[in-house]
């Protein structure tokens, strides 16, 4: 029965499906309000006994059902709102069902729906049951043949997974296409698209010489904006062959861009479906961040072809098996395409901004949970981002060669299967000969470990003693244990070179923190001067690393540190302390610190402008929440602005130099040019906090030649809203026809505006409750990027977001649940804001919410 309290699903309850479905043939007769789906399944019992056949089906109307050509009487099956049960079935048989569904009313964007008048599907995790009756679980894999019939003039292009077999014109203006997917796959990878598209075509020749036809399908007139995505796709295909030995396995690879999509993109076999925000880009309308996001998401979905599709997940508890590994792969790809250190810093910023708070709050869960309430809510930063960090740690622990061999074994051993984390780790145990069971505790235990490093130097014996203490957070549970954690270290001598010592090599080594306390003593030749310790290099583990270093010790360490990530991180730690000091201690701004940060950035600016920009970047208000509780976003915001003003004052003349340098032309979205524009944007951001810059910025707005600059200037102007009205109006007028840029127009105001202004924006004719990108641009960006507004003590921000949760929930539960997660830090707020949040959440809990939203709400309220 359908119920609105989430039913907990337990990993311990896993049982294999008692039947095998070797082949499935699906026939779609497409119609916006009544689509008919005929399915023919070849079913064979694979278990002892006479288990009934239970199929999932949600919102599908059964029109006809036959076994081996014989219509079934209604007494032979039970139909509930979510299941079809056939109590007695033969051991081998053909089941034929005909159902009808209504895509035009599908606002949840799960299953078969319409976007911009075109048909598309989203089946992960449980959308396929909204299309037809089927055992909708990832361990049931089958070979799909799909026939699509539709009106040819309205839907000239008909796509599904695999390779096209035939197309045929029918009477009455209809046509039909048949697609065969030779690879067995779970239902969540099924896809169908139909409509009128502009198509950008290309081809890729694989390492073994097969030619793959590539095509990206977009809205009329937009094919030119898919060029970058196509370029990314070809580079991803070549990279996966070169780095992981993975070749593509079909004759065609199709991408379809849709405007209405709940997520970034989806890896359906041979037919990836993308949120159009991650396909369309050109210099006028897309920022460098957009180009970069497209590169990583196109690669991510493509890489799923092996890590996710060829080898899929046995059940949804194993989601990190495909997502953690695939994020790791896309991060490596981006690191190879761009600057590795800059990429690593950006990945860590994202992890700390999104995953650390999740792991510290009421929504914390293990990377591989053992229970869940609503599956859509498991697509979290923990599963994706922390999941990727665990793979990165594994690689460090067993070494790159064993890691590569382990993956080879994995692809070899489990190709065509639905696997578990245990299966995956068994491959690396085979490859390395190591027992990895202690490491696997990382998958079971939530919470971010804290590691404290203390060092002492004994000059008489020239020994350095490193003491590593690990404590696990409250969220890790009563049974929590220290987790095996690789800390990449180097010992750096006075002249900046790595020093050798007793236990290693050329000074670089792994220190494993696997107990509450680990002590390591390193001996150096007599007379050695006190060396410096570099630890956690390249952010070698997803932990909070604390060192008891004074400001001056930190500054001298930055000077010798050989790891760029650590140089950046040490500098950020000072910036962070400064902001926290001003916020909670009322301390003055440390001019020496401002000078150092400014100088570090200036030193890097010619060689690596992207790195220089990162040094000038201040931690976001949200990142600072974890450092001090209760957190006061309004005071944090003010302290950030003070520090920006101080940096701007220190850098006045240098900022002018940066902003007066000519823009790189012709525009290219590569890392080199993007870095230059990053630094310009950082400079514009600082200018915003310098008095009397409005005329200057308005001039820059007129002169902007690309979206990165236009957006950066608009944001800078919005720091004082009275200066921005002109530019906002011009921006809107210029981009009124481009929904992706209008999303930016909403998002920029949501990030910087006041609730009253945002309430007016919610009434704007371009605001569309049915479009997730637009809702996220206004409400999501407000709740995650404008914390002073969201957590205003008068409760106006909380009300604003809660109102949208209630309005969105009946049409799109997955989106509403995601908006609701933004309340996860409410218990950490200062008194007034905390009480307001609690009132809002309690009020919400009295309302009738979807399972997705109540699952989040119950966990958040606790
Ligand atoms: N598997 C997709 C990815 O990682 C995620 C995804 C796409 C998704 N659409 C979804 C998850 C809808 C849940 C619901 O790229
Ligand atoms: Zn993914």
pLDDT tens profile 98-120: 999 999 999 999 999 999 999 99
> What's residue 154's pLDDT?
98
Averaged pLDDT, 732-739: 97
> What's residue 4's pLDDT?
59
Ligand nearest to the CA of 265: 1
Q: SS3 sequence, 566-633? A: HHHHHHHHHHHHHHHHHHHHCCCCCHHHHHHHHHHHHHHCCCCHHHHHHHHCCCCCHHHHHHCCCECH
> What's residue 503's pLDDT?
58
Averaged pLDDT, 24-40: 99
Q: Which of 222, 283, 301, 389 is catalytic?
A: 301
> Cα–Cα distance between 607 and 194 in angstroms, integer?
49
Averaged pLDDT, 565-580: 97
CB within 5 A of ion ligand 2: which residues? Answer: 323, 326
Ligand nearest to the CA of 380: 1
> What's residue 504's pLDDT?
53
Active site residue 301: yes
Nearest CA to ligand 1 atom 5: 266
Residue 261 CA, closest ligand 1 atom number: 9
Tokens matching residue 755: 């609730």
The tens digit of pLDDT for each residue in 8-24 reads: 999 999 999 999 999 99
Confidence of residue 502 (pLDDT cuts 50, 70, 90): low
Question: What phi and psi, each to the nearest 5 degrees, are found at residue 312?
Answer: -110, -170
Number of CB atoms found within 10 A of residue 81's CB: 10
Number of CB atoms found within 10 A of residue 27's CB: 17
> Which residues have any ligand 1 atom within 6 Å of their CB?
122, 124-125, 262-267, 300-301, 323, 376, 379
Ligand nearest to the CA of 388: 2
The tens digit of pLDDT for each residue in 256-294 reads: 999 999 999 999 999 999 999 999 999 999 999 999 999
Of 123, 236, 262, best ligand 1 pocket probe by most atoms within 8 Å of the beta carbon: 262
> Cα–Cα distance between 286 and 228 in angstroms, integer?
11
Of 120, 138, 188, 264, best ligand 1 pocket probe by most atoms within 8 Å of the beta carbon: 264
Beta carbons of 453 and 535 less than 8 angstroms apart = yes
Confidence of residue 721 (pLDDT cuts 50, 70, 90): confident
Q: How much distance in Å is there from the Cα of 313 to the middle of ligand 1?
A: 14
Q: What is the CA radius of gyration of the chain?
A: 28
Residue 384 CA, closest ligand 1 atom number: 4
Q: Which pTM value belongs to this model?
A: 0.98
Nearest CA to ligand 1 atom 3: 266
Q: How much distance in Å is there from the Cα of 123 to the middle of ligand 1?
A: 9
Q: How much distance in Å is there from the Cα of 443 to the middle of ligand 2?
A: 18
Residue 323 CA, closest ligand 1 atom number: 4
Q: How much distance in Å is there from the Cα of 257 to the middle of ligand 1?
A: 14
Ligand nearest to the CA of 304: 2
Confidence of residue 1 (pLDDT cuts 50, 70, 90): very low
Please tell me whether the peptide bond between 666 and the residue prior to it is cis, using omega within 30 degrees of 0.
Answer: yes
Nearest CA to ligand 1 atom 1: 266
Q: How much distance in Å is there from the Cα of 308 to the middle of ligand 2?
A: 8
Q: How much distance in Å is there from the Cα of 266 to the middle of ligand 1?
A: 5
């Amino acid at each position: 029965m359908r119920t609105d309290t989430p039913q907990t699903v337990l990993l311990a309850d896993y049982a294999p499906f008692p039947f095998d479905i070797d082949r499935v043939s699906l026939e779609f007769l497409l119609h916006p309000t009544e689509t008919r789906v005929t399915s023919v399944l070849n079913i064979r019992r694979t278990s002892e006994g006479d288990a009934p056949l239970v199929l999932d089906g949600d919102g599908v109307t059964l029109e006809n059902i036959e076994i081996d050509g014989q219509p079934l009487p209604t007494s032979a099956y039970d139909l509930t709102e979510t299941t079809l049960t056939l109590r007695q079935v033969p051991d081998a048989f053909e089941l034929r069902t005909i159902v009808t569904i209504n895509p035009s009313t599908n606002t949840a964007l799960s299953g078969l729906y319409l976007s911009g008048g075109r048909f598309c599907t989203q089946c992960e995790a449980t959308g396929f049951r909204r299309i037809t009756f089927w055992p909708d679980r990832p361990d049931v894999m089958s070979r799909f043949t799909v026939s699509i019939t539709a009106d040819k003039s309205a839907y000239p292009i008909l796509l599904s997974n695999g390779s096209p077999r035939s197309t045929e014109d029918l009477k009455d203006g209809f046509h039909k296409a048949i697609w065969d997917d030779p690879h067995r796959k779970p239902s969540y990878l099924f896809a169908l698209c139909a409509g009128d598209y502009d198509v950008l075509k290309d081809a890729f020749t694989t390492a073994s010489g097969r030619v793959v036809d590539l095509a990206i399908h977009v809205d009329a007139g937009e094919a030119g904006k898919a060029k970058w995505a196509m370029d990314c796709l070809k580079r991803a295909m070549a990279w996966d062959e070169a780095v992981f030995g993975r070749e593509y396995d079909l004759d065609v690879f199709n991408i379809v861009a849709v405007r209405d999509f709940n997520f970034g993109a989806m890896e359906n076999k041979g037919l990836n479906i993308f949120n159009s925000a991650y396909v369309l880009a050109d210099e006028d309308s897309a920022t460098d961040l957009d180009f970069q996001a497209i590169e990583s998401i196109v690669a991510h979905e493509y890489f799923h072809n092996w890590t996710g599709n060829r080898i899929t997940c046995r059940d949804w508890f194993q989601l990190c098996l495909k997502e953690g590994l695939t994020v790791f792969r896309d991060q490596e790809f981006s690191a190879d395409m761009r600057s590795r250190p800059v990429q690593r810093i950006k990945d860590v910023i994202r992890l700390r901004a999104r995953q650390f708070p999740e792991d510290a709050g009421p929504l914390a869960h293990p990377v591989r949970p053992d229970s869940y309430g609503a599956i859509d809510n498991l697509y979290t930063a923990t599963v994706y981002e922390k999941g990727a960090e665990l793979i990165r740690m594994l690689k460090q622990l067993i070494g790159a060669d064993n890691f590569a061999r382990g993956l080879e074994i994995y692809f070899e051993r489990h190709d065509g299967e639905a696997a578990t984390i245990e299966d995956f780790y068994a491959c690396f145990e085979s490859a390395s000969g190591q027992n990895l069971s202690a490491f696997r505790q990382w998958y079971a235990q939530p919470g971010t470990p804290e590691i404290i490093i203390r060092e002492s130097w004994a000059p008489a014996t020239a020994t350095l003693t490193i003491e590593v203490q690990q404590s696990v957070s409250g969220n890790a549970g009563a049974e929590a244990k220290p987790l095996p954690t690789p800390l990449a270290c180097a010992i750096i001598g006075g002249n900046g070179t790595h020093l050798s010592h007793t236990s290693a090599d050329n000074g670089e080594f792994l220190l494993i923190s696997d107990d509450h306390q680990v002590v390591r003593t390193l001996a150096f030749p007599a007379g050695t001067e006190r060396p410096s310790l570099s630890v956690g290099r390249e952010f070698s583990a997803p932990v909070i690393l604390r060192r008891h270093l004074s400001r001056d010790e930190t500054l001298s360490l930055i000077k010798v540190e050989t790891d760029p990530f650590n140089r950046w991180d040490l500098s950020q730690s000072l910036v962070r302390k400064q902001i926290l000091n001003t916020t909670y201690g009322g301390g003055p701004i440390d001019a020496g610190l401002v000078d150092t940060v400014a100088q570090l950035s200036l030193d890097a600016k010619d060689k690596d402008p992207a790195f220089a920009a990162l040094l000038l970047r201040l931690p976001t208000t949200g990142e600072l929440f974890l450092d001090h509780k209760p957190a006061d976003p309004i005071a944090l915001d003010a302290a950030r602005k003070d520090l920006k003003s101080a940096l701007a004052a220190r850098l006045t003349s240098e900022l002018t130099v940066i902003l007066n340098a000519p823009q790189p032309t012709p525009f290219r979205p590569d890392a080199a040019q993007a870095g230059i524009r990053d630094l310009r944007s950082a400079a514009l951001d600082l200018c915003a906090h310098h008095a009397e810059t409005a005329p200057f910025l308005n001039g820059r707005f007129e002169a902007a030649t690309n979206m990165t600059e236009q957006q950066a200037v608009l944001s800078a102007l919005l720091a004082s809203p009275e200066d921005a009205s002109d530019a906002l109006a011009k921006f809107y007028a210029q981009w009124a026809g481009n929904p992706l840029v209008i999303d930016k127009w909403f998002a920029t105001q949501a990030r910087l505006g006041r609730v009253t202004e945002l309430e007016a924006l919610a009434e704007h004719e371009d605001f569309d409750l049915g479009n997730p990108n637009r809702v996220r641009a206004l409400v999501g960006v407000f709740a995650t990027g404008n914390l002073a507004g969201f957590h205003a003590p008068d409760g106006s921000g909380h009300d604003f977001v809660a109102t949208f949760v209630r309005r969105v929930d009946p049409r799109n539960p997955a989106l509403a649940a995601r908006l609701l997660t933004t309340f996860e830090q409410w218990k950490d707020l200062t008194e007034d804001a905390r009480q307001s949040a609690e009132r809002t959440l309690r009020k919400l809990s009295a309302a009738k919410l979807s399972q997705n939203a109540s699952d989040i709400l119950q966990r958040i309220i606790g």
